[in-house]
Amino acid sequence: MRSIVILIAFSLAAFGQRHKVEEVDTGKPEGKLLQQLLQENDPAKKTALMEQFASQFPKLETSAWVLDQLQASYVKAGDTEKIIAAGESLLAIDPDDPEAALQCLKAVETKKDVALIKKWSATTSSNARKMVNTPKPAEADAVESWKTEVDYAKQVDTYSEYALFSAAVQARDPKVVIDLAETLSQRNPKSEYTAKVQQAMFVAYQQSGANDKALALAEHTVATDQSNENMLLVVTDNYVQNKKDPEKIHAYSAKIVEVMASKPKPEGTSDGDWAAHKSQVTGAAWYMSGKQYSNDNRHAQADQDLKKALPLIDASPGLAALKPEVLFLLGLSDYNLAKTTPEMAQAAANYFRACAALKSGFQATAATNLKRIQTEYHGIK
């Protein structure tokens, strides 16, 4: 019986003619089976025939096209394990296929398997970038198709970055968050998702005790983005502790106050918790700015900022340890201001008295300073 040759061209919608079948030789077993599945209209029967073909003829070039179609049918059915299996078989034939890798990545996302997400994200990105870097065809009629494929490949690469970001922000283990976030940052420092994962990575560094990395990340971030109050706090506090960049201390402290005044309550946070957070963060900002002014002997400014900090510190259990120091610094500032404005002496005495009543490293000196003011200024209570 004479062979019948049927010319056909099937491909992925997004990647043009990547996988195609140019002829079907019905004189061969694979040709007969291919003709049968091409003529089959029942989806279930067609899938079964494709599975049979892929199993019987795994090394034929035609199998790439069949596996492509088969994976697409599994995607439609939502069969995760088969999507991955078909993708792996297809990539064994065509290791650079971007779409097969992408569908495997999406499948493992549903399994929430971090190791597999990381693996398939890398493969998807690598294959997509190979497509992006394919040279522009010399034939004019092929240019438009090439542009479409390159544009889609860029979207695929972006999705591979999103997958790492999504897995990172959903992870509860700080080590996992750090691993995924650092992988993303190394792959594409300029990715929109690298910027979006910074907060999760910052918190994970803190939770894992990697404070140096948390500080370095915060310093890098606030250089261009000052919307995160927690990063601003860490950087500003580091400057205060190390007595460097006084003007940045004031600028960042003011920015923290500004951010907290306008920042909306995060979804899922109670009104009480958000109010407490705003109070604590704002109080810490005023404290740091006031302390720096005190260190620089700019007592009027120190008095203003520390007075704003004090009621917020009183309202924030997390800042309770700062109260003795704030009282002491207020007493010190007002004592110095009393040299030109004597009525400030009583305020200084009041602050030192309050400080002396609290157990802290400032207690004894505050008591001594109170006696000194009472000696220097008559009528001080």
Amino acid letter for position 234: V
DSSP 322: G
pLDDT computed for residue 250 by the predictor: 97
pLDDT tens-digit readout, 186-244? 999 999 999 999 999 999 999 999 999 999 999 999 999 999 999 999 999 999 999 98
CB 70 within 8 A of CB 46: no
The answer to whether 50 and 70 have CB atoms below 8 angstroms apart is yes
Residue 286 corresponds to which amino acid? W
- Least confident residue range of 31-45, 126-140, 236-250, 356-370: 31-45
* 36-45, 190-199, 280-289, 296-305: least confident range: 36-45
In the block, which residue shows the tokens 């394919």?
134
Across the chain, mean pLDDT equals 92
Contact indicator for 229, 281 with CB cutoff of 8 Å: yes
Q: Does residue 48 carry a pLDDT above 60?
A: yes
Give the pLDDT of residue 58: 87
Maximum C-alpha span of the chain: 125
From the list 257, 329, 247, 234, the residue with the least C-alpha distance to 291 is: 329
CA distance 332 to 350: 11
pTM: 0.82
pLDDT of residue 14: 53
Q: What is residue 8's predicted lDDT score, i.e. its pLDDT?
A: 36
pLDDT exceeds cutoff 90 at 79? yes
Average pLDDT value for residue range 333-361: 96
The confidence band for 378, taking pLDDT boundaries of 50, 70 and 90, is confident
Residue 81 scores a pLDDT above 60: yes
> How much is the pLDDT for 22?
67
Of the pLDDT bands very low, low, confident and very high (cuts 50, 70, 90), residue 40 is: confident
Instruction: Label residue 4 by pLDDT band (50, 70, 90).
Output: very low
Please tell me the predicted confidence (pLDDT) of residue 142: 86
| 3-state secondary structure at position 24 | strand
Q: How confident is the model at residue 5 (pLDDT cuts 50, 70, 90)?
A: very low
Nearest to 179 by CA among 118, 102, 90, 268: 118
Residues 6+ apart with CB under 8 A from 313: 283, 287, 319, 320, 322, 323, 326
Instruction: Tell me the average pLDDT across 36-56.
Output: 91
Does the pLDDT at position 164 exceed 80? yes
The mean pLDDT value for 35-57 works out to 91
CA dist 96 → 11, 17, 20, 88, 245 (Å): 15, 14, 15, 11, 51
Across the range 155-184, mean pLDDT stands at: 97
Report the pLDDT value the prediction gives residue 227, as an integer from 0 to 100. 93
Return the higher-pLDDT residue of 322 and 15. 322
* pLDDT tens digits along 311-324: 999 999 999 999 99
Q: In the predicted model, what is the mean pLDDT of residues 352-361?
A: 97
User: In this model, does residue 137 exceed pLDDT 70?
Assistant: yes
| Predicted local distance difference test score (pLDDT) of residue 17 | 60
The arithmetic mean of pLDDT across residues 94-116, rounded, is 95
